[in-house]
Amino acid sequence: MSFYNTLHKKNIIAKPNFNRWLVPPASIAIHLCIGSVYAWSMFNPALVKILGVVTSSGDDWSLGQVVWIFSVAIVSLGLAAAYAGKWLEEVGPRMVGFVSACCWGGGFIIGSLGIFLHEQGVEIAMSLPMISSEPIVLKLGLYLLYLGYGVIGGIGLGLGYVSPVSTLIRWFPDRRGMATGMAIMGFGGGAMIAKLSIDRLLAKFYKAPEYLGSEDSVSLITESGRRFVEISGNLTEVVVVTMNDIAKMIVPGDPGVYIVGTGSSGAAQTFLFLGIVYFIIMTIAAFSYRVPPDGWAPKGWTPPKDSKKTRLITKNNVHIDQALKTPQFYFLWVVLCFNVTAGIGVIGVAKTMMIEIFTPSLPVIVTAGFAGTYVLMISVFNMVGRIFWASMSDFIGRKTTYFIFFSLGFLLYMSIPFTAKAMSVNPAVTYLILFYAASMVIFTMYGGGFATIPAYLADIFGTKYVGGIHGRLLTAWSTAGVLGPVAITQLRQGSVETAIQDLVSKISPDKFQEIYGASVDQLSLLVKQKTVTISNLMQYMPEGTINPSTTLYNTTMYAMAALLAIAFVSNLLIGPVDKKHHMKEQ
């Protein structure tokens, strides 16, 4: 038997008396691996400091560039799932799971190469006379990171995500919600394990750059918005770490002046290690998949009788292509897209957001470690929400479950700006607790939305092609993967620029020149090169000045609440599929 046939669905049909409870562990293992995508924000502090290491340097990637890698992965996930859903019905979950292992593990390894090339300063120059007379310089490392983790890894995400869904729904027709909750629970919990491993791996491979001494003891020179020192007659680029930057360091160190390019953030080695581990685990799990024979049903189980609760549970099937012609598909698309958009932007910057909002007011409590734990708890509640809400939907119905998501979620998102503003005026642990509690409930419903949607689809379109229809619906996730990060980064950047302008206006031009070695007229360049930040500006503000970092995300939260209001209406419009779309009995 060839390797291809070993993977094919026709050769993994379960034998009589096979224990169906052996299938969920394989699904959970794969989803735990690909679910580490939700821990992407754990890489942010390292990826924006590849060269500076202790803080960002002029040639380091920006947060916006790094967050977009996460977006590309989610877009690739949705597009791959849209194709893989139908392919899954043909070849089975083992083959799809194995290809997923190759893509996800391989994506990390390619990403590792990209980070390494960036550390080495590798660039490529392209001559495009129609665009510019000067050669266009491309940073090869960033493109490899986008290709590896974003595109190839994202394809692995999509394949791994859909591989268990229709399989478990067929193994557990008596508990569809619970089955999809088990299938997707691991995806929510993946970040929990990843958080613990990423922190340790980055710390293990971390190497501090060469330290020159305190800022007062070094003669700094500013050119083109960057800071330099003269060493042996040559200008050497450096970064300056202030007391306000200590909490943001990968491994806390001393404030002062460090030489750019002499240390290591540990990101390249971490990516390589994780890629190898994920490939091995996912391959073993994929070979554990089995599918039930045609017509199989649990012993003693009979389909539910018609009732008010089962009004949306059809006994018919709708073909994949026909499902796209129904309004129900598009109402569900909006429901999933806006529910995901509201959460995914926050997930992409979770660690950074926690540090920016609360570290200025509560620096002793909200350290880098505390923010990392926040990412861990997001994963825990995301995972718990998937199994809790999916199982609950078996009793209260899918439509009612989503009504809870959108009404309660709207109120919680609206509460976050209030909490952040109150924190800036009156720093108190109470506001941190309120923010923490609100965001954790939000993420139970975020995860619950993912876990409940396959059962919702099975109720409305039947089980025969639910895997394929689910794959098509996940294009909503791709869209959300763009909308969420775009909203949070663009709205945040606008708030950052406004805040910096306001803070600079409180400093005299002469004082500004003394601090940064450049005039106020060069502010935009200094901000672009990361020389001027809110963090270091706050050191020179008059006493009583409120740190604007706490309110950088307020506009974003209002926008997310508005999306949930639209999703509420879309869920309200969902009803049974018209009989003309049902498949005929063979």
Rounded-to-integer distance, Cα 425 and Cα 223, Å: 37
Rounded-to-integer distance, Cα 126 and Cα 40, Å: 31
Widest CA span in the chain? 86
The pLDDT, as a whole number, for residue 285 is 92
Note whether 193 and 42 are within 8 A (CB): no
The pLDDT, as a whole number, for residue 380 is 83
Query: pLDDT tens digits, residue range 499-523?
Result: 888 888 888 888 888 888 888 888 8
Backbone angles phi, psi at 495, to 5 degrees: -65, -40
Note whether 556 and 345 are within 8 A (CB): yes
Range of the structural domain that residue 429 is part of: 3-209+260-293+313-506+545-576
Is residue 303 a part of any domain in this protein? no
Environment class of 281 (CB within 10 Å of its CB; exposed 0-12, middle 13-18, buried 19+)? middle
CA torsion 568-573-574-580 (nearest 10°) is: -160
Residue with tokens 């960036």: 118
In the predicted model, what is the mean pLDDT of residues 105-110? 96
| pLDDT at residue 378 tops 60 | yes
Backbone angles phi, psi at 236, to 5 degrees: -120, 130
The pLDDT, as a whole number, for residue 427 is 79
| pLDDT at residue 379 tops 50 | yes
Is residue 486 a part of any domain in this protein? yes
Q: What's the Cα-to-Cα distance from 314 to each of 213, 463, 467, rounded to whole Å?
A: 71, 9, 16
Rounded-to-integer distance, Cα 284 and Cα 101, Å: 9
Is residue 66 a part of any domain in this protein? yes
Is residue 234 a part of any domain in this protein? no
Give just the sign of the alpha carbon dihedral 10, 11, 12, 17.
Answer: positive
Query: Which of 443, 445, 457 is closest to 331 using CA atoms?
Result: 457
Is residue 146 a part of any domain in this protein? yes
| pLDDT at residue 586 tops 50 | no
Q: What's the Cα-to-Cα distance from 115 to each of 63, 145, 537, rounded to whole Å?
A: 15, 7, 30
| pLDDT at residue 16 tops 60 | yes
Rounded-to-integer distance, Cα 152 and Cα 108, Å: 9
Amino acid at position 548, single letter? P
Query: What's the alpha-carbon Rg for the chain, to the nearest Å?
Result: 26
Rounded-to-integer distance, Cα 182 and Cα 21, Å: 11
The pLDDT, as a whole number, for residue 144 is 92
Domain total for the chain?
Answer: 1
Quote the mean pLDDT of the chain: 84
Query: pLDDT tens digits, residue range 237-292?
Result: 888 888 877 777 778 888 889 998 888 899 999 999 999 999 999 999 999 888 88
586 or 536, higher pLDDT: 536
Is residue 528 a part of any domain in this protein? no
Q: Which of 349-358, 452-461, 524-533 has the lowest mean pLDDT?
A: 349-358
The pLDDT, as a whole number, for residue 226 is 86
For residue 52 the two structure tokens come to: 């500076």
Is residue 527 a part of any domain in this protein? no
Rounded-to-integer distance, Cα 546 and Cα 417, Å: 15
Model confidence at 124, pLDDT cuts 50, 70, 90, reads low
Which distant-in-sequence residues (6+ apart) come within 8 Å of 232 by Cβ?
none
Which distant-in-sequence residues (6+ apart) come within 8 Å of 306 by Cβ?
none
For residue 576 the two structure tokens come to: 């049974």
Rounded-to-integer distance, Cα 28 and Cα 34, Å: 10
Amino acid at position 213, single letter? G
Side-chain-side CA neighbours of residue 374 (13 Å): 29
In the predicted model, what is the mean pLDDT of residues 226-233? 87
Specify the long-range contacts of residues 3-8, CB closer than 8 Å, at least 24 apart: 4/95, 7/91, 7/92, 7/94, 7/95, 7/98, 8/91, 8/92, 8/94, 8/95
| pTM, 2 dp | 0.71
Helix, strand, or coil (residue 211): strand
Which distant-in-sequence residues (6+ apart) come within 8 Å of 76 by Cβ?
150, 151, 152, 153, 154, 155, 157, 158, 478
Q: Which CATH number is 196's domain given?
A: 1.20.1250.20
Query: pLDDT tens digits, residue range 409-432?
Result: 999 989 888 887 787 777 788 888
How wide is the angle at C-alpha 430 spanned by C-alphas 429 and 432, nearest 5°? 65
φ/ψ region of 295 (left if φ > 0, alpha if ψ in -120 to 50, else beta) reads left
Model confidence at 359, pLDDT cuts 50, 70, 90, reads confident
